[in-house]
Chains A and B, each alone.
Chain A
C-alpha cells in the first residue's frame, strides 16, 4: 500500500481525517448507544421496547410512514415523469420547489402544516364539512410524513427517467403497443428499482422524523404519539435506559432500511448495465 499506487497526493491525510472525524462524531457515540443497551440485560431491554404505549407508537411511526411513502411513490413517480419529460410554464419553479422539504426546517414545516390543516384554516376548513379532521389526528401525521418524504422519490427517479433510452420506447411503439401498454410493459419495469429505492429512502426518513410531526400530531399516547417523541419524553424523565433501548430499536430499523435501499440501488445499477 504505497504512495506509488496513487498519482495524486493527500491520500493519507484526507483518509485519516475522514475516519477520525467520522469515528469521533458518529461511530463512537453510536457505539456508546449500543453499549448502553448491552449493559441493560435482556429482560429490562425487552420490557422497555415492548410496553403497550411503545408498541402503539411503533404502529404510528412505522405504519403511517409506510402509507406516506406509498403516496410519495405514486405521486412522486408522476411528478418525476412530468418534470423530466414535459415542457410547460412553471416547470422550473416546480422542479426547484421539489427540494423545499429538504431545506425547510422541520419545526417551520410543522407549524405551517398545522395551521393550514387546522379545522378553521385554509385547507382544514375545506375538509371539515366532510368530517375529515387533519390536525391533531393520524391524518395530520400522514400529511407531515408525506411532506418530508416528497423529494426522495422524485430526485431518485428523475435522472433515471432522463437516461431511459428512446429506442426501446420507439421499438415498442413500432411493434404496435399503445402508450399505456408501453409504459407498463417497457418503461415501468426499468424504473422499478429506482422507484423502490426512492420509496425506501422516503420511508427511512419518515420513520425517524420528529420536528414536523410533533406539532401536527397532537401527541396523544396510544393514538398519535410517535416513537422518537417517546425517546424524548423518556430522556426528560431521566429514564436513560428506556431511551437508549428505544433508540437502539430505531437505529436498527434505520440500518435495515439503508441496507435495503443499497441493495435496491445495486439491483438498479446491474439492470441498467445489462
Chain B
C-alpha cells in the first residue's frame, strides 16, 4: 500500500519533466482542432447547411419525390437483410476465433478483414463476373429466369460483402480481452452451449455487439461503390439512397441531394454516439471485472 502511494507521487512529480511545454501543447491542440475542423466538422456542417438553405419546406419536399421514397425503402430493405446475416456471421466467427485454439487462426482473421481493404468496386465486380450475362453462372440464371444483377439479390450480396467484417471485428478483440473463464465455469456446471451463449456471453458483449451492428448498418445503408456496380441504377427500382444522392446531385438538384444526405449523416452521428457509449460501458465492465 505504501509502495503504491510512493509510486504515484513519483509519477505526478515526474509529469513536469515528461510533458511538453504549455506553448507546444497549445500549438499541437490548435493544429489538431484545425485539421479536424477542416476535414471532419466542415463537411458535416455543409451537408446540413446545403440541405436547409432553401428553408424547411424545400427540405421536406425532397422526400415527396416517389423515386427518393423508393430509394429510402430499398435501402432499409437491404439493411434489414444484410445486417442480420453479418451479425450472425460476426457472432459465429468471434466465438470460433476467441474460444478455441486452432491452426490457421491468423489467416482466418486476415480473410475476415479482407473486404475492408478491397476496393468496393471489386466487391461489385466479382458478382458481375459471377452472375452477369457473360458471367460464370449467367447462362444458367437466364435459362431459369432468375434475376440477381440489377435487382435486389445483387444489391444485398454486394452490401453484405462490403460490410461483413464489421460485427466480427468489433467482437473479436472485445471477447479476447474478456476471456472465457465465465463461459468455462458455466460449461463445468452443465450449461448447454446455447445457454452459455445466451446467458453468459451475450450480457458480457452486448455493448460491443450493439456498436458492431450499428456500424455495420451505417455502412450497409451508405454503401456506394459496390452497389453502384451491381444495381443498374434503375430509378424507382434499384436505386438505394446513396445512388439517389448521386443522381440528384448530378442533375443539379443540390438541395434534394443534401436533404437525402442528412438522413445518412444523422445515422453516422448516431453511430459515433453509440460507439462512445459502448466504449464507456465496455471500459466500466472490464474495470469491474478486474476489481472483483
User: Taking beta carbons and an 8 Å cutoff, which residues of A are in contact with B?
Assistant: 6-11, 13-15, 17-19, 21-22, 25-27, 29-30, 32-33, 35-36, 75, 78-79, 81-83, 85-86, 88, 90, 92, 94, 96-109, 111-113, 115-116, 121-123, 143, 146-147, 150, 166, 169-170, 172-174, 179, 182, 201, 204-205, 207-211, 215, 228-229, 231-232, 235, 238, 240, 243-244, 247, 250-251, 254, 257-258, 262
Are A103 and B215 within 8 A (Cβ)?
Answer: yes
Name the residue on A nearest B222 (C-beta).
Answer: A105
One of A101, A172, A174, A244 near B40 (C-beta < 8 A): A101
Could you tell me the distance in whole angstroms from the C-beta of A164 to the nearest C-beta in chain B?
10
Chain B residues with Cβ below 8 Å from A30 are 126
One of A113, A174, A208, A211 near B118 (C-beta < 8 A): A208
One of B32, B114, B193 near A8 (C-beta < 8 A): B193
Further pairs besides A26-B115, A79-B35: 19, Cβ < 8 Å: A9-B196, A11-B99, A11-B102, A21-B89, A22-B108, A26-B114, A99-B272, A105-B224, A105-B264, A112-B47, A116-B42, A147-B43, A179-B18, A179-B19, A228-B122, A232-B121, A258-B117, A262-B106, A262-B110
Once A116-B46, A231-B122 are accepted as A-B contacts, the answer to whether A26 and B11 lie under 8 Å apart by CB is no
Could you tell me the distance in whole angstroms from the C-beta of A33 to the nearest C-beta in chain B?
5
Is B57 an interface residue, CB under 8 A from the partner?
no
Are A208 and B43 within 8 A (Cβ)?
Answer: no
Are B99 and A10 within 8 A (Cβ)?
Answer: yes
One of B19, B112, B245 near A108 (C-beta < 8 A): B245
If over half of B's interface residues share one DSSP class (helix, strand or loop), that class is named, otherwise mixed; here it is helix
Are B32 and A33 within 8 A (Cβ)?
Answer: no
Chain A residues with Cβ below 8 Å from B243 are 107
Binary A-proximity of B107-150 (CB < 8 A = 1, otherwise 0): 01011111111111110011111101011100000000000000
Residues from 78 to 106 in B contacting A, C-beta threshold 8 Å: 88-89, 92-93, 95-97, 99-100, 102, 106
Are A240 and B242 within 8 A (Cβ)?
Answer: no
Q: Which of B25, B119, B229, B245 has the most CB of A within 10 A?
A: B119
Could you tell me the distance in whole angstroms from the C-beta of A159 to the nearest C-beta in chain B?
10
Tally chain B residues at the interface, Cβ within 8 Å. 104
Name the residue on A nearest B42 (C-beta).
Answer: A116
Complexed CA–CA distance, A27 and B114 (Å): 10
Binary A-proximity of B259-281 (CB < 8 A = 1, otherwise 0): 00100110111011101100000
One of B35, B47, B129, B228 near A33 (C-beta < 8 A): B129
Are A250 and B122 within 8 A (Cβ)?
Answer: yes
User: Taking beta carbons and an 8 Å cutoff, which residues of B are in contact with A?
Assistant: 10-11, 14, 17-21, 24-25, 28-29, 31-33, 35-36, 38-44, 46-47, 50, 88-89, 92-93, 95-97, 99-100, 102, 106, 108, 110-122, 125-130, 132, 134-136, 157, 160-161, 164, 180, 183-184, 187-188, 192-193, 196-197, 215, 218-219, 221-225, 228-229, 242-243, 245-246, 249, 254, 257-258, 261, 264-265, 267-269, 271-273, 275-276
Complexed CA–CA distance, A25 and B159 (Å): 11
Are B228 and A232 within 8 A (Cβ)?
Answer: yes
Are A111 and B245 within 8 A (Cβ)?
Answer: yes
Chain A residues with Cβ below 8 Å from B21 are 179
Are A82 and B28 within 8 A (Cβ)?
Answer: yes
If over half of A's interface residues share one DSSP class (helix, strand or loop), that class is named, otherwise mixed; here it is helix
Are A254 and B43 within 8 A (Cβ)?
Answer: no
Are B180 and A182 within 8 A (Cβ)?
Answer: no
Complexed CA–CA distance, A209 and B225 (Å): 8
A–B Cβ pairs within 8 angstroms, 9 of them: A8-B196, A26-B115, A104-B222, A104-B264, A107-B222, A150-B39, A208-B118, A240-B132, A254-B117
Chain B residues with Cβ below 8 Å from A88 are 29
